[in-house]
Chain A
Amino acid sequence: MATLTEQLDLILTLKPNWDGYNADPIRPRLVALAKDFLEFFQVMERVTGQDFRLFVHPTRVGGVQIEWTDASQEHELEIDPDGSLGFLHIDRATGAMTEKKFSPPAEGLAFAAGWLPLLAQCGSGLRLAA
């Protein structure tokens, strides 16, 4: 099975109508941001020893979705072409869902692109210090 990074690279090659229902091609800058998120999660997996069971999916509007799971919840993060970030959290015991959306156009992406590498570095530092 392809690694998550390889899957994201594959997502970049999708042509318009890749799902048979007129889906949009995926925006390269969103794939780049998704890779930063994955790097952060993978650092956190190493630091905490947890397996977050990460998945990545293209979205029909040209974005990327990342999914991960922890002990109590499933999570989805949707990165949209307009720069917004949408979160869905599902309680694994009850099935209850909550969601949040952050929609500062462009600022959301810029913010995330700025702090994710820093967080990943912090995570690496924690592991080294431990």
Chain B
Amino acid sequence: MTPTDFVADDELILRHIPGGTTWQKPDGTIASPNFRLRPGEVGISVSRLVITSPEAFMARLGDPTTGSRIAFARAADIRALGFEAVSAPRDYDLGQAELRPATADATAKQTRKALAMLFRYVE
């Protein structure tokens, strides 16, 4: 596996979820604003479990003392929502990838809600 390889349908995709009740709802679901694109962003930054270990991922982005968590979803399920999972390796994370809207409307609230409902926390 190399960082530029195609993201396979059975790969697990990771996203950091900041700690605290304002980002992680008490009922265990993930808040949809976690998946909103900022102006100028073409895709939602994620990492590929096949390349990036959860430990390295948390060390780079998270703060376990504040309750940071990692969520995951399967690439095929993300694609079914109208996103492309595209590898976008960086020096600091060779497993970095982006979820870029293909047929999905990234400006729609329904789209990020559907993504939020798809991702699950790593236990």
A interface with B by C-beta (< 8 Å): 1-2, 7, 10-11, 18-24, 55-61, 65, 67, 76, 78, 86-88, 90, 97, 99
Number of interface residues of B (CB under 8 A): 25
For B32, list chain A residues within 8 Å (CB): 65, 76, 88
Most chain A CB neighbours (cut-off 10 Å) among B16, B39, B45, B109 = B109
18 additional contacts (CB under 8 A) given A7-B22, A67-B25: A1-B26, A7-B21, A10-B20, A11-B22, A19-B23, A21-B16, A21-B61, A55-B22, A55-B25, A57-B31, A58-B33, A60-B33, A60-B37, A65-B33, A76-B109, A76-B113, A78-B109, A99-B110
B38 touches A20 (CB 8 A): no
User: Which residues in A have their C-beta under 8 angstroms from that of B60?
Assistant: 20
Does B79 touch A at the CB level, under 8 Å?
Answer: no
B18 at the interface (CB under 8 A from A): yes
Chain B residues with CB below 8 A from A22, complex form: 38
In whole angstroms, what is the CA distance A90 to B113 when docked? 10
State whether A60 and B38 are in contact (beta carbons under 8 Å apart), knowing that A20-B61, A88-B113, A99-B109 are contacts in the complex: yes
* Min CB gap B57→A, angstroms: 10
Closest to B61 in A: A20
Query: Which B residues from 66 to 99 make CB contacts under 8 A with A?
Result: none
| A10 x B38 contact (CB < 8 A) | no
Residues of chain B within 8 A (CB-CB) of A10 are 20, 22
Shortest 5 CB-CB distances between A and B: which pairs?
Answer: A20-B61, A88-B109, A59-B33, A57-B31, A97-B110
Closest to A11 in B: B22
Question: In the docked arrangement, what's the CA distance between A119 and B21, Å?
Answer: 28
- Chain A residues in 8 Å Cβ range of B120: none
Q: Taking the nearest CB of chain A, how far is it from the CB of B69, in angstroms? A: 12
- In the complex the two chains form, what is the Cα distance from A58 to B36 in whole Å? 11
Q: How far in angstroms is the closest Cβ of chain B from A82?
A: 10
Q: Which residues of B contact A1 (CB under 8 A)?
A: 21, 26
For A24, the chain B residues whose CB sits under 8 A away are 38
Q: How far is the CA of A10 from the CA of B109 in the complex (A)?
A: 24
Q: Do B33 and A78 touch (CB < 8 A)?
A: yes
Q: Is the CB of B23 within 8 A of A61?
A: no
Smallest beta-carbon distance A54→chain B, Å: 11
